[in-house]
Amino acid sequence: MMGTGKFWVVSFLVAVGALVLTRGFIANDYFFFAAYVVLQYIVLSTAWNILGGYTGYTNFGVAAFFAVGAYSSVVLHKLTSLPVPVMILVGGIMSGILGFGMGYLTLRLKGVFFAIATLALAIVAQTLIVNWDYVGGSRGIYIIRPQQSPLYGSYIQYLYSLMLILAWISLAIARTIERSRLGLGFAAIRDDELAAEAGGVPTLRLKLIATTLSGALMGMSGAPLPYYVTYLDPASSFNLSYAVNSVAMPLIGGMTSWVGPMIGAILLGTIQQLATVTISSALNLLIVGLLLIAFVIIAPNGIVGLVQARRRARARW
Partner 1 sequence: MKQPLLEVSGLGKRFGGFVALESIDLSVRTGERLGLIGPNGSGKSTLVNCLCGTLRHDSGSVVFDGRPIDGLPAYRRTRLGLARSFQLPKPFRTLNLVDNLRIPLLYTVNARPGARLSNGAIDERCRALLADVGLADKALRQPRDLTQVEMRKLELARAVASAPRLLFADEAMAGLSPSEIEEILVVLVRLNEQGITIVLIEHIMRAVMSFSTRLVVLVAGQKIADGAPQEAIRNPEVERAYLGE
Interacting residue ranges for partner 1, rule: CB under 8 A: 181, 184-185, 187-188, 190-192, 194-204, 256
CB of 193 to partner 1, least distance (A): 9
CB of 212 to partner 1, least distance (A): 19
Inter-residue contact 69 to 226 (CB < 8 Å): no
Nearer to partner 1, 201 or 243 (CB): 201
CB of 256 to partner 1, least distance (A): 7
CB of 312 to partner 1, least distance (A): 10
Nearer to partner 1, 139 or 181 (CB): 181
Nearer to partner 1, 152 or 317 (CB): 317
Nearer to partner 1, 18 or 182 (CB): 182
CB of 195 to partner 1, least distance (A): 4
Nearer to partner 1, 107 or 122 (CB): 107
CB of 308 to partner 1, least distance (A): 12
Nearer to partner 1, 109 or 187 (CB): 187
